[in-house]
Amino acid sequence: MARDCDPNFARVDEILDLLTKSKSLHILLILDNKNTPMRFSEIKFKVESSSTTISRRLKELENANLIVKTSKNLPQKVIFYELTEDARALSPIMVSFYNWVEARNL
């Protein structure tokens, strides 16, 4: 008798693939810690990675509905990034995972 694979496993794999890409989790954690919208340059400074990597991850996280990009017309157009409600719901898991790794010196 063949068993059907739970479709949630595929969705979990999909989100884990995104979160394990270079700097994805780091970006989410710094946005969570800041708890206010951040500019690209602030994120890049905190993450300490190339503009290309940060730009790619921000776009991927936005496409996954984990961050939202907004713009404000100050003297010049300024773009901000912040967590979505879905990412905020994921936050305790991310922080717990980070703390678990830190406690084990992995």
Helix 24-34 and helix 40-47: axis angle, to 10°?
A: 120
Boundaries of domain holding 80: 12-103
> How buried is 99 (Cβ within 10 angstroms: 0-12 exposed, 13-18 middle, 19+ buried)?
exposed
The pLDDT assigned to 2 comes to 53
On whether residue 75 sits in a domain, the answer given is yes
On whether residue 68 sits in a domain, the answer given is yes
Q: Which amino acid is at 94?
A: M
The length of the chain in residues reads 106
Contacts of 38 (CB under 8 A, 6+ apart): 30, 31, 80, 81, 82
Provide the Cα torsion 79, 42, 48, 106; round to 10°: -100
* Residue carrying the six token digits 């949630």: 8
On whether residue 23 sits in a domain, the answer given is yes
On whether residue 3 sits in a domain, the answer given is no
Question: What is the C-alpha separation between 74 and 77, in angstroms, rounded?
Answer: 6
Question: What is the C-alpha separation between 31 and 11, in angstroms, rounded?
Answer: 23
On whether residue 98 sits in a domain, the answer given is yes
The pLDDT assigned to 23 comes to 96
Domain count for the chain? 1
- What's the predicted TM-score (pTM) here? 0.86
On whether residue 4 sits in a domain, the answer given is no
On whether residue 84 sits in a domain, the answer given is yes
pLDDT in tens, the chain (106 residues): 556 778 888 888 999 999 999 999 999 999 999 999 999 999 999 999 999 999 999 999 999 999 999 998 878 889 999 999 999 999 999 889 889 999 998 7
On whether residue 67 sits in a domain, the answer given is yes
CATH number, domain containing residue 55 = 1.10.10.10
